Amino acid sequence: MSCSGGHFDLDAKKTELAELEKQSNSSSLWNDPDNARKLTQRISRLSEPINKYNKVFQDLGDLAELEEMLEEESGTDYEELQAEAMRFNKELNDWEFLQMLSGPDDRRNCILTIHPGAGGTESADWAGMLMRMYLRYVERRGFQSEVIDLQPADQAGVKSVSIEVVGDFAFGRLKSEIGVHRLVRISPFDASNRRHTSFASVYVYPELEEASEIEIVSSEIRVDTFRASGAGGQHVNKTDSAIRITHLPTNIVVSCQSERSQHRNRETAMRFLAARLLKLQREEEAKKRDVLEAQKSENAWGSQIRSYVLHPYHLVKDVRTNVETSNTDAVLDGDIDSFVEGYLMENPGS
């Protein structure tokens, strides 16, 4: 690890932190609450990696002292040193992983959406399998999740699904999943047991911490109510509690039907809309800098980020990073950390 230069420039971060802390001591800080909130958030996000960096080097020094002390004692076993070395190695890995998650939105909660590609029941079922995979991953990470909009397919799977994920660095981790996912298997819906290839697209939106981060003008949205089509019991199917919001300038449409309360569904839908608008804003800013890489591609052959092959062999392979495993059952049960971390290692702070 280098104290300056490279991905983690300690000197630059310390200088910025000192300047921000000086500003935070101003008596007029809270005259502008929005700016004060942004300032305190930036201070918090700078302080954490600096403190962890300092802690890693302090522990490295302690470890070296322990090794020297044990070497001076004859007949000493090294179990304590090995235990400390393992703990330090984990601490170092955690710090390095934190540096991969240094994007402006990485700490945010997020909304993950899945849409099947062409292929009818096959693709809809694949989208349903991906939904389960991500729900299991979220559970494994200790995050919270809520399906805020689910459109079941006629025979199996889903026509579309939106999942709100709440947890520290939820967006930072799940942004690695943006793209087209390809499945190859013997179709359970084909009486001739033929092999089929299916596609589904995944997109992830960072969720805003404050509604004020994105201005939504009431005259620029249309709000429609409708009867929920998913699970929810008798009550949800008898009332027009589901909400659909259309943002007229961009034609972005979001919906929520997870709650019985129309008011709460509207609140969730507005958060979803704000997340979509934030993502659009980020993309427009990137276009101005000419560095935007198209992540939304055609939901079909040749555009996939990852292939899941269940026949004639078992293999999951990420085509961006070449990370692969033959344990397809574990992956589909939510064990995708190797793919997430492989992507982040190649795209730190993206």
A 10 A CB-CB count for 147 gives: 17
For 237-263, how does the pLDDT look when each residue is reduced to its tens digit (9 = 90+)? 446 688 899 999 999 999 988 777 788
Cα 40-43-47 angle, rounded to 5 deg? 145
Q: By C-alpha distance, which of 91, 95, 69 is closest to 80?
A: 69
Please give the Cα distance from 243 to 223 (Å, whole number).
7
Alpha helices in the chain (DSSP H): 10-24, 33-72, 79-100, 121-141, 170-174, 233-238, 262-288, 328-332, 337-346
* The pLDDT of residue 232: 42
291 DSSP assignment: -
* The pLDDT of residue 122: 92
Strands 315-318 and 304-309: antiparallel
As given in the structure block, the two tokens for residue 203 are 């997109």
For 37-89, how does the pLDDT look when each residue is reduced to its tens digit (9 = 90+)? 778 877 876 777 777 777 777 777 777 776 777 666 655 556 766 777 777 77
- 200, 130 contact by CB (below 8 A): yes
- 143, 107 contact by CB (below 8 A): no
Residues whose CB falls within 8 Å of the CB of residue 173, separated by 6 or more in sequence, listed in order: 101, 141, 340, 344
Write the DSSP assignment of 294-344 as a string of letters: P----SSTT-EEEEEE-SSS-EEEETTT--EES-HHHHHTT--HHHHHHHH
Please give the Cα distance from 179 to 298 (Å, whole number).
9
Please give the Cα distance from 56 to 63 (Å, whole number).
10
223 DSSP assignment: E
Please give the Cα distance from 245 to 223 (Å, whole number).
5
Q: By C-alpha distance, which of 91, 140, 101 is closest to 334?
A: 140
Please give the Cα distance from 76 to 66 (Å, whole number).
12
- 127, 95 contact by CB (below 8 A): no
For 282-325, how does the pLDDT look when each residue is reduced to its tens digit (9 = 90+)? 888 777 655 444 555 556 555 789 999 999 999 999 999 999 99
* The pLDDT of residue 239: 60
pLDDT bin (cut points 50, 70, 90) of residue 236 is very low
Domains of the chain, first to last: 10-100 (1.20.58), 101-291+298-350 (3.30.70.1660)
